[in-house]
Structure 1
Amino acid sequence: MSEASAFPTRIAYAEAIAIVERVAAAHRVPAQRVALARAHGCILAGDLAARIPQPPFDNSAMDGFALRHADLQAGGEAVLRLVGEQFAGRAIDLAITAGQCARITTGASLPAGADTVVMKENTRLDGDRVFVLVAPKRGQHVRRAGEDTQPGESLLRGGEALTPARIALAASQGRAELEVARRPTVAVFTTGDELVEPGLPLAPGQIYNSNREQLMGLLRADGLEPVAWPTLPDDPAQVESALRHAGHAFDLVLTCGAVSAGEKDHIPALLQAHGAIHFWKVRMKPGMPVLLADGGGFGDALFLCLPGNPVSVLATYLALGRPLLDAMQGRAAARPRWRARLASPWHKAHERLEFLRGRFLSRDEGSLEVEPDPADGSHRMQAAADSDALIVLAEGAREYPAGTVVEVLPY
């Protein structure tokens, strides 16, 4: 396939990301209502406001005794008369007046007239007399109604990923369901006559298929439920048939291999003939041959075609695939990229932007460092397995002394 084409090629990574975001916006998945148990990790489809005050009533933060702070002496012991009990989950018409107190448990509603709670450990009980040994401050150990949220206040914003804490916040408002972006459906293809499934014997010239499990694991870690297809042989008719089938059934088709410029790399020509290529080849290392296309005659799916080397698969998924899926779901904020200092120097001898494998090091004084792995070849999966982040090195050859602050993309 000639590179003198209408689509962008050999573009900068920043341009590729801009195209990814634009294309993903045109392929936003619809919203759906799901139970809280199914909403973990999903992207909230719209803003969520509080329905009730939280806490819904004044309640105790401690096991102890509810009292009137005005009854406490400035110094020494105070003695109050115990007139009742208030336990969590059972509201009763209990009230205290001057010189009285009530036993109370954590989370129980505060009796009328009380404004303070003294911890049980700071009291002594003798019959119906409660001796306050350590006087609490006015209002101590009391959670006031609505001090966390008031009705109508913003709880969560559309586009936020639903973390366990955000799910709990919605649950505290009585929400049993949430409107979220439907998780994109993803088909995963690996290609190549040389691939053999783990567990089978290898013939000369064959290698085991590691890309399928790597991609499936990355997608599952991002909350998706991908479908793996059988490995495709280097046969254009079979590749075309499989891509057409998947393109009509899934939101995104991810492929590994057959995307460069070799005699057996059929995918670019097929997508040029039947789809609409948004870009092919990005000035990044590893993973330059990556391709993004609309299905066109292959269906409504997006096609993100990754190189075949396993480290290239890892880098291109993290750098382009994950942002694509996030944007398809309407994620409002990009995932955080960290800053760390290089633990050792690095010589960058090429011009492309590089995603170098590295391992985080947390120093005793509180600094964050990242140790680059010298095994930087795109076939060196051991280096990727020993690492937990990609170090982002900008375009251009240069020296990176130890201590240089670099951008880091966690796995």
Structure 2
Amino acid sequence: MSTARSTPRSTPRGMDEHVAAVLARVAPLAIDDVPLAALAAEPPGRALGADVHAVALVPPFDAAAMDGYAVRLADLPADGSPVTLSVVGDLRPGSPPDRCERETRPRHADGEGQAPAHSTGGAAVRIMTGAPVPGWADAVVPVERTSTGRFVAGGPTTEREVTLARQPRAHVRHRGEDVRPGDLLGRAGDAVTPALVAVAASGGLTALPVHRRPRVAVLSTGSELVPSEDGAAGVATDPGHIPDSNSLLLAALARAAGADVVRVGAVPDDADALRAALDSVVDAGGAAAVDLVVTTGGVSAGASDVVRAVLDADDARLADVDVAAVALRPGRPQALARWRGVPWVALPGNPVSAFVSFALFVRPAVAVLAGRAPARPVRRVAAEAWPSPPGRTHVVPVRTLPSGAVARATAPGSDHGPGGHATSALLGADALALVPPDVDKVEAGDELDVLPLDLPFGAGA
């Protein structure tokens, strides 16, 4: 049974200090070797847990870079004059290099036999892009630069002869010119991208060492919230009630940050109900265990603030309680704790405050759990002037203009003007501008720190 204890006083702190307080509670998750095929089928968000090196040559053999004819440059006049060569074979991708060498080597290439009477000497092999280039050949002449003109699917597989000339480029991808064994493909902390998966496969790897994907439980508090039924958002039909949009917001944001999500939904303003909800997600074991709990609402000092009621109680399941008054607008009331050892980040209930708080505090925590570096703000120029309340970091939803400058966001089609307090303004935002506490007005042309909302995984690190 929980008993009341003295109410902890909110600790004043700056935005950066609260980011540090959140990140001090999380650490990169365990590293597993995951097959490339599984990584290719997963949502994005994984990060390398160790440096990765190639173990094979790319390409593994000299390969044709164009459809055309494999030739010896020694058989083509240096002045570019055309010559006619006998076509002695046909090579396609997948042909074994040793068979290519054995079956296409012209007798006169090593001094044996004689070239056909109609030829000026040498021989050519019809070859397709990606096929092994015979060892006796050192160039490929593209088919469109020859008398053949183009290859026709279903047509003859070998012309008897072809007229062609020396080209400025050899069009041969040489063995190991792209990747060699030992080459560094990715560093610990790098995002697992489609390109990395592909290059790792080409470089002889079958799996990558990656951090486990974070599992985040999200819930919203408030007796005014219409709970979800069968996983769907509730519809408010009674006066004084509103749909539970916050748990949907948190779930979508956590998913976009690269986490697997356990969405509890709305919990009424009842301390026992909140404790039961926290127990339900923290008790799960094995693959269902959560690494982070995120809640919205009930974190201020009102009579219905259920999160504060739980944080203020003497409960053995609770540890490391940290109630903060962050110099931030919106998002001043914040709280941190551990529930049965699992980090718990409690955000305010106003939807814009919750959105901003997630971007500033939770998204970096998810990145650290996943083994990635948190995204960093970039510098952008304000396209317009706007007032800013001094004394706190003012977080303003903004949209990036084609020029690269930013303007305050508005809902698409809205005629109400910019409104950072309005949830609908988030629809038009692709970034958050961070106005310093000592600024009371942003002027057009001022440089601002801006946190993009759509950074790809690993960017800005």
Report the TM-score when normalising by structure 1.
0.90
Contact 1:248 1:301 (8 Å CA) reproduced: no
Q: Distance in 2 between matches of 1:321 and 1:111?
A: 57
Contact 1:247 1:302 (8 Å CA) reproduced: no
Contact 1:29 1:181 (8 Å CA) reproduced: yes
Contact 2:244 2:265 (8 Å CA) reproduced: no
Counterpart in the other structure of 1:95? 105
Q: Secondary structure at the match of 1:103?
A: strand
Ranges in structure 1 where 5+ consecutive residues have no aligned partner: none
Contact 2:247 2:264 (8 Å CA) reproduced: no
| CA positional deviation for 1:120 | 0.5
Counterpart in the other structure of 1:64? 68
Query: Residue 394 of structure 1 is aligned with which of 418, 429, 436?
Result: 436
Contact 2:22 2:365 (8 Å CA) reproduced: yes
Query: Residue 158 of structure 1 is aligned with which of 167, 173, 188?
Result: 188
Question: How big is each residue's C-alpha offset from its partner over 1:317-374, in whole Å with a ceiling of 9 and x where there is no partner?
Answer: 111101001111221x3325333221211221222112210111113xxxx1211135
What amino acid is aligned across from residue 32 of structure 1 in structure 2?
Answer: D
| CA positional deviation for 1:18 | 2.1
Q: Distance in 1 between matches of 2:234 and 2:21?
A: 40
Query: Residue 386 of structure 2 is aligned with which of 343, 346, 351?
Result: 346
Query: Residue 211 of structure 1 is aligned with which of 222, 230, 246?
Result: 246
Ranges in structure 2 where 5+ consecutive residues have no aligned partner: 1-5, 110-120, 149-157, 228-232, 285-289, 410-416, 454-461
Contact 2:382 2:445 (8 Å CA) reproduced: yes
| CA positional deviation for 1:116 | 1.1
Counterpart in the other structure of 1:403? 445
Counterpart in the other structure of 2:155? none
Contact 1:67 1:116 (8 Å CA) reproduced: yes
Q: Distance in 1 between matches of 2:292 and 2:452?
A: 23
Q: Distance in 1 between matches of 2:93 and 2:446?
A: 55
| CA positional deviation for 1:278 | 4.3
| CA positional deviation for 1:113 | 1.4
Structure 2 matches for 1:171-250, cutoff 5 A? 171-197=201-227, 198-249=233-284, 250=290
Counterpart in the other structure of 1:50? 54
Instruction: Tell me whether 1:370 sits opposite 2:406 in the alignment.
Output: yes
Instruction: Tell me whether 1:167 sits opposite 2:197 in the alignment.
Output: yes
> Aligned in 2, Cα 1:38/1:288: closer, same or farther, shift over 3 Å?
farther
| CA positional deviation for 1:303 | 0.2
Q: Secondary structure at the match of 1:212?
A: helix
Question: How big is each residue's C-alpha offset from its partner over 1:68-110, in whole Å with a ceiling of 9 and x where there is no partner?
Answer: 1222221331222211111111122333526211111111111
> Aligned in 2, Cα 1:103/1:336: closer, same or farther, shift over 3 Å?
farther
Structure whose CA Rg is larger: 2
Q: Distance in 1 between matches of 2:222 and 2:336?
A: 20
| CA positional deviation for 1:180 | 1.3
Aligned-residue Cα RMSD (Å) equals: 2.1
Instruction: Tell me whether 1:78 sits opposite 2:83 in the alignment.
Output: yes
> Aligned in 2, Cα 1:336/1:71: closer, same or farther, shift over 3 Å?
farther
Work out the percentage of aligned pairs sharing the same amino acid.
36
Counterpart in the other structure of 2:153? none
Q: Distance in 2 between matches of 1:37 and 1:213?
A: 30
Q: Which runs of 4+ in 1 moved over 6 A?
A: none
Contact 1:293 1:304 (8 Å CA) reproduced: yes
Q: Secondary structure at the match of 1:213?
A: helix
* Structure 1 stretch displaced more, 39-48 or 188-197: 39-48
What amino acid is aligned across from residue 387 of structure 2 in structure 1?
Answer: H
Instruction: Tell me whether 1:385 sits opposite 2:422 in the alignment.
Output: no
Query: Residue 270 of structure 1 is aligned with which of 306, 310, 313?
Result: 310
Q: Distance in 1 between matches of 2:9 and 2:359?
A: 29
